[in-house]
Amino acid sequence: MRLLVVEDEPDLNRQLVEALVDAGYAVDKALDGEEGHFLGDTEPYDAVVLDLGLPRMDGISVLEQWRRNHRDMPVLILTARDRWSDKVAGMDAGADDYVAKPFHMEEVLARLRALLRRSAGHASSEIEVGPLRLDTKASRVTLDGGAVKLTSHEFRLLSYLVHHCGRVVSRTELIEHLYDQDFDRDSNTVEVFIGRLRKKLPQGMIKTVRGLGYCLTEPDGDGSK
């Protein structure tokens, strides 16, 4: 999953980015409203953490313009604890949830996990696809009850496919949602990790749809790849 953090306080921005990267997300950042608006308007993020008190363009204006431009990614706003009016304005502008400052980082992570699950149509923190289970809270994957050992990149790719199970996901979409803006999009990284995942999952779970991309489904026992 690829996230955007828009926060003008450098230390808090860094702390948020580090925590999200440690949690397995690809993260881009912006330190003012104009840059944040541009990134959110031009890049396909799975969710955004947006401070409301931003220089150059305030968070409410950023959010309102995104929604007018039909940018529908989930947005978690950061507000001052004593400014209830900011919370109301943010939700009315199109925010999906909020966290009041100062906050515990675990709360931000939990709220983002919930937003990502709901945006993909999943209510539970554990998502099942046949014998495969993804625990989004623990960042853990099991197969028939046994742990599946994955690298961070393998987990990130499998998590995206699980969140969008049953849908064909193109290589371009995977690159756009799994890597930050500095990633070399001409590399064959996605193909390499798809190959590695197939060796760890039942045959037929990750199907190649020729010319379109990949689709994660329950194993069908026909041995197709």
| CATH at 58 | 3.40.50.2300
Q: Is the per-residue pLDDT at 222 higher than 60?
A: no
Residue 46 and residue 144 in one domain: no
Answer yes or no: are the C-beta atoms of 112 and 81 closer than 8 Å.
no
Give me the CATH number covering residue 149: 1.10.10.10
pTM above 0.75, yes or no: yes
Measure the CA–CA gap between 98 and 87, rounded to whole angstroms: 7
**Total number of domains in the chain:** 2
Name the domain boundary from 103, 119, 135: 119
- Regarding whether 110 and 7 lie in a shared domain, the answer is yes
Asked, for residue 139, whether it belongs to a domain, the answer is yes
pLDDT at 80: 82
Q: Domain ends where: 119, 136, 156?
A: 119
Q: 79 lies in which domain range?
A: 2-119
Q: Is the dihedral of CA 49, 51, 54, 60 positive or negative?
A: positive
196 and 149 share one domain: yes
Do residues 40 and 99 share a domain? Answer: yes
| Neighbour-count burial of 40, counting CB atoms closer than 10 A to its CB (0-12 exposed, 13-18 middle, 19+ buried) | buried
Here the contacts of 185-192 (C-beta below 8 Å, separation 24 or greater) are 189/153, 190/157
Average pLDDT over residues 135-164: 94
Query: Is the model's pLDDT at 35 over the cut of 60?
Result: yes
Q: First vs last Cα of the chain: how many Å apart? A: 24
Q: What is the pLDDT of residues 162-175, one digit of tens each?
A: 999 999 999 999 99
Q: Is the pLDDT of residue 183 over 90?
A: no
Task: Establish if 223 belongs to a structural domain.
Answer: no
**Mean pLDDT confidence for 14-20:** 97
Domain boundary (119, 141, 176) is at: 119
Q: Please indicate, yes or no, whether residues 6 and 112 belong to a single structural domain of this protein.
A: yes
Residues across the chain: 225
- Looking at residue 129, its pLDDT comes to 95
**Residue 85: its pLDDT value, please?**
87
